[in-house]
Amino acid sequence: MTEAPEIVLGIETSCDETAAALLLKGNRLLSNVISSQVDIHAEYGGIVPEIASRKHVESIDFVVKKALKQAGLAFKDVNGIAVTQGPGLVGSLVVGLSYAKACALSAGKPLTGVNHIHAHLMACFLERETTPGFPFVGLVVSGGHTSLYRVDGFFHVELLGSTRDDAAGEAFDKVAKILGLPYPGGPVISRLAEQGNKEAFRFPRARLPETPLDFSFSGLKTAVLQAVQKIKASGQKLVIEDVCASFQEAVIDVLVTKTIEAAKQHHVSQVVAAGGVASNMRLRERLAMECKREGLSLMVPRPLFCTDNAAMIALTGYHQLKEGMLLGPDADVFSRIAI
Ligand code: KG4
Ligand code: ZN
């Protein structure tokens, strides 16, 4: 254990958001800047990794300086740096890690490498009024991951189940593409779903009885594709809102059922959800309803802390720096890893 760093600079570049945040004493957010490339990638219908890396190179210094300015701080005031080390797009991660290393080395500041999924799981501690205690069952639902964890402490995280194929966010993005909707699919599908009938289509819910806490969304995506093709071939009118509502409900049914099942199986009374898909209002509503029914308490960070951000990196990094978990100058990024 080393001295707790007073001010931590968090840096996030794992995908298509360049983000920086400053955190005081591990729980007071002083600034949280996010520069999104979403409009650029939307033109291509998804993230183009090479463009993402180049945009991070262009933005990162500006974003970090903006975060310092908003916090009313200078770089010399920073006591430790936390950077996303993985998983994510290698080219994007390398930009953040190289920048963070350069800052840390030149100024002699400690540097720690954060697992992006671990950070999503810990984002709930950014909400100071409603932080959960341990243990909790955590559902991480993002564009690249869908997993359930049992969390007994900041560094006591046990994987209970994960997706065998597509992540939930990926399913939203792929179904949006099928429907000719823009990238990213989650926000647009959830908006259209509000006007649709969730009973219009009965899409499959993969239960996986042998590993009931695992997920599978590729069959659902195929079922949507087949339903859309069938309607188009028959010359009937495709009500996109109904497809969106029925698809969204199928994803949410599975996420909610398995999360509650995990909490019951593990005799844990607190549930946390995180990651970009956890910003979905219907998922938040259904989780709240089902947790209440089962006598479980629920904590979902506000949408800003569910989608990619550097505040969660600074928070997780603060705990790592306190434990002396430092990165050396030869540290590399990792593209895939489960925790
Ligand atoms: O956590 P995140 O910002 O980045 C990753 O780590 O992947 O998650 C991005 C994913 C995308 O797939 C996006 O479509 C999905 O989160 N998403 C949503 C919503 N907002 C973002 N999915 C469903 N409903 C939403 N409101
Ligand atoms: Zn993420």
Q: Tens of pLDDT along 101-139? A: 999 999 999 999 999 999 999 999 999 888 999 999 999
Q: Is residue 334 part of a domain?
A: no
- In CATH, what number is assigned to the domain containing residue 70? 3.30.420.40
Q: Is residue 331 part of a domain?
A: no
Cα gap 306→302, rounded to integer Å:
7
Instruction: Identify the pLDDT of residue 157.
Output: 96
Whole-number Å distance, alpha carbon 123 to ligand 2 midpoint, is 11
Mean pLDDT computed over every residue of the chain: 96
Strands 111-115 and 156-162, bridge-based pairing: unpaired
Question: What SS3 state is found at 280?
Answer: coil
Residues 264 and 314 in one domain: no
- Name the token pair of 73: 């701080």
Residues 136 and 280 in one domain: yes
Ligand 1 atom 16: residue of nearest CA: 276
Q: Is residue 335 part of a domain?
A: no
Whole-number Å distance, alpha carbon 337 to ligand 1 midpoint, is 19
The response to whether residue 190 sits with its C-beta less than 6 Å from ligand 1 reads yes
Residues 112 and 26 in one domain: yes
Q: Decide which of 335 and 134 is more confident.
A: 134
Residues 296 and 311 in one domain: no
Residues 82 and 193 in one domain: no
Strands 270-274 and 297-299, bridge-based pairing: parallel
Whole-number Å distance, alpha carbon 180 to ligand 1 midpoint, is 18
pLDDT at 322 over 70: yes
pLDDT at 338 over 70: no
Residue 74 main-chain phi, psi, to 5 deg? -110, 165
The response to whether residue 146 sits with its C-beta less than 6 Å from ligand 1 reads no
The response to whether residue 301 sits with its C-beta less than 6 Å from ligand 1 reads no
Cβ neighbours for 173, distance < 8 A, ≥ 6 positions apart: 46, 143, 183, 184, 185, 186
Across the range 49-69, mean pLDDT stands at 97
Residues 11 and 54 in one domain: yes
Residues 160 and 260 in one domain: yes
Residues 155 and 292 in one domain: yes
Whole-number Å distance, alpha carbon 172 to ligand 1 midpoint, is 8
Domain with 235 in it: 132-300
Q: Is residue 75 part of a domain?
A: yes
Residues 93 and 138 in one domain: no
Given a contact cutoff of 8 angstroms between Cβ atoms, the answer to whether 10 and 96 are in contact is no
Domains held by the chain: number: 2
pLDDT at 339 over 80: no
Q: Is residue 98 part of a domain?
A: yes
Q: Is residue 333 part of a domain?
A: no
In the chain, alpha helices (H): 38-42, 49-71, 90-107, 116-122, 168-178, 185-193, 218-234, 240-265, 281-294, 303-306, 311-322
Q: Is residue 33 part of a domain?
A: yes
Residues 51 and 71 in one domain: yes
Q: Is residue 236 part of a domain?
A: yes
Residues 101 and 141 in one domain: no
Residues 283 and 140 in one domain: yes
